[in-house]
Amino acid sequence: MKNTLIYFTLRLLVLITGNKISLLREPTKKFAYLVNLDRYKAKGATIGSHTILISCTLSSSSKGDKFIIGDNCTLTGTTLLAHDASPSLFISELVLKEQPYMIGSRASYRAPIIIGNNVFIGWGTIVLPGVTIGNDVVIGAGSVVTRDIPSGVVAAGNPIKIIKPLEIFISDYRDKMMQYPERF
């Protein structure tokens, strides 16, 4: 709430001054970033330092979903699903209230999603309940992460599979930087 108040105060100052005070630009961007993180934290996320989430969706349930995201991560357009309510359609013991619109009417399988440090997750990726992603990992866009991913790899696909070690990914991009500097 504090970050939101500061952000909107800064935005108001920017509007009043016609965006002519350059000293307001960086703090306004900083508090926009913090407000964004607060929104994800309110959904059950623990977020490390220097981590950014861009247009992500985090599942939520009446019993609370948990997401642990490490330091120096970038998640873009990622969906994190920390619960699965589908068994309640087939297992009658999981139907807790007859009215499906009532909060807590169905019991869901839930397990935290844990994402290590230095992880990039590409746009459109879906991470399922209980998955742990190690440190120093790149997850390709559009992947469906159905199982744990070890540290130090690039993985992609539906379902996800390990593509190569991170060292080769880094080497390939260093080559691209040399060959096509205008693309960076």
Are 113 and 82 spatial neighbours (Cβ–Cβ below 8 Å)?
A: yes
Angle, to 10 degrees, between the axis of helix 25-41 and the axis of helix 2-17? 150
User: In the annotation, is 50 catalytic?
Assistant: no
d(CA 109, CA 180): 47
* DSSP code per residue over 37-79: HHHHHTTTEEE-TT-EEES-EE---TT---EEE-SS-EEES-E
Q: Which of 53, 65, 78, 83 is catalytic?
A: 83
CB burial string 16-37: b at 16+ within 10 A, e below = eeeeeeeeeeeebeebeebbbb
Question: Both tokens of residue 171?
Answer: 């080497």
Catalytic residues: 83
